[in-house]
Chain A
Amino acid sequence: MSDTDGPDANEASDDGSGWFEARPSGTADGDVGTESDDAAAAARVRDGSAAAPADWPARAVEAGFAGDADEYYDRLNAATTRATREAVRERERADDAQLIHAVRAMDDCERVANELAERAVEWAGSLFDEVDPGVEGVRAIAAREPESEVERRAVSVAERAAELDDERAALAETIGRIAPAVAPNLTEMAGAELAARLIALAGGLEPLAKKPSGTVQVLGAEDALFAHLSGRAPSPKHGIIYTHEFVRGTRPEDRGSAARAFAGKLSLAARADHYAGERRERLHDDLRERMATIRARADEDGAGDAVGDDAGAETEAVTDDE
């Protein structure tokens, strides 16, 4: 929500004109045919912007774009339908491979930003008074006016760290944008970042859809899993899904159940996303209900862990509401 939607959000095209105005000169010549006109109008619907709405129908009639409001709406209908159809087709082509690159790049940016921030803070601490640690501290350092060769370098390193952190934030935003297109159910259930991480850990949406939920449950806990398999440790209860509120927010003695139930629904969500691609309200309702039951145990307290009580929920067919 804190995205910078100031004047910079609307860039060049924002001259207060409607979608029917400001025809690009490139497409005006050539055939006066409706095809290129329609295409240009659709492109303006898709890519244009304006700081504020206006009485477009009246403006369009005034400008001679349409004879009356009715004609305007007819043309608007044609343009929005075409623009949306094209955008949908393109966006649906957004694939899981892009999501994997984005989430890995985000992790790299975060790791390097932290490392560089640590160095910058340590260096700056020897040059300036009152240097705070972390990325916030680095931003304060970057804002300083350096007064010597060494200070200039230290401040510059701090700037790089801050920029890397900006890049991480931009990548997170991109992930939030494309994850719902790639995996709508998984994203709704897990949030964009966790959905992207699960897909990345599995190596794609299809491989994730094919994994049993027990594997999804411990994705990201491979070290612990192999330690367990070689007999050195107890089995891990959860992998990366620990980052989700459903698991982390559940009291420790119920976390195993919560992780198991959550992983079960996540794998169903991944299957729905890969094989069907549409939203399944039932899945989300079932999970909420299941989590409520598990959390209710904390209230009852000492009711004992009912083993296997969610087996039915986990073997439920993906196509149940089709």
Chain B
Amino acid sequence: MSDSALPDGVERREIEGERRLATRGKPVYGEPTTDSWRAWDPERSKLGGMLELGLETGLVGGETVLYLGAASGTTVSHVADFGGPTYAVEFAPRPARDLLDAAEPRDRLFPLLKDARKPETYAHVVESDVDAVIQDVATRGQAEVAVRNARFLADDGRLLLAIKARSEDVTAEPADVFEGALDRLREAYEILETRRLDRFHEDHLGVVATPR
């Protein structure tokens, strides 16, 4: 497989009779585990889907990460398992409660109840020059959020973004929505790779980009 593209700390493991992506850590959402390796379900996680599809994420393991749209912590818990210091921003209180549970056993996962559209409200906490910004927010203006958060990213850092077409416009063609979003992104980023995530997530586009 394209295991060379997987960061250290993420492996394909035999779990419940299937070879699946997995990271090492305390289970968070009832996912199956084998020998402390927890299965990472690409159908529940956009980043998991991007890794499973073999996108060149540039992640090698151990990086400092700003994660926008952490929700209940499903994906960000895996990120904290293989990454370094991980800042998890989530706007809604209810999922943030679950995020706190996921952060409990992970001492380098920092939960923040903040609005990703307003980076100045957490710039006094999140350090500069992070290695990766991972974004999965389901609001309108997803590209705008990525552009505003470019200030946190190191010059050679990576933006890993999942754009959900339906959050922008339920009635428009996803392809048109993606094109519009990419145009906005190009104002602050150079797009390295895009891939539809439809195999795991309908009407989502995975984007890898680096600051211009």
Contact = CB atoms under 8 A, between A and B. Distances in A.
Q: Do A and B bind each other?
A: yes
A180 B95 CA distance: 11
A224 to B, nearest CB: 27
Contacts of B166: 288
| Chief secondary structure at chain A's binding surface | helix
B120 A76 contact: no
Contacts of A50: 120, 123-124
B170 interface: yes
A18 B85 contact: no
A279 B95 contact: yes
A108 interface: no
B59 interface: no
Interface stretch (A84-92, A137-145, A263-271): A84-92
B100 A14 contact: no
A279 B117 CA distance: 21
How large, as a class, is the contact surface on chain A?
A: 35 or more
Contacts of B108: 73, 77
B97 interface: yes
Interface residues of B, number: 40
Contact of A88 (B107, B113, B120): B113
A53 B152 CA distance: 6
A52 interface: yes
A49 interface: yes
Contact of B111 (A9, A17, A48, A84): A84
Interface of B: 85, 91-97, 99-100, 103-104, 107-113, 117-118, 120-129, 138, 140-141, 144, 151-152, 166, 170-171
Interface of A: 1, 3, 5, 9-10, 14, 17-19, 44-46, 48-57, 73-74, 76-77, 80-81, 83-85, 87-88, 91-92, 180-181, 184, 188, 245-246, 249, 277-279, 288
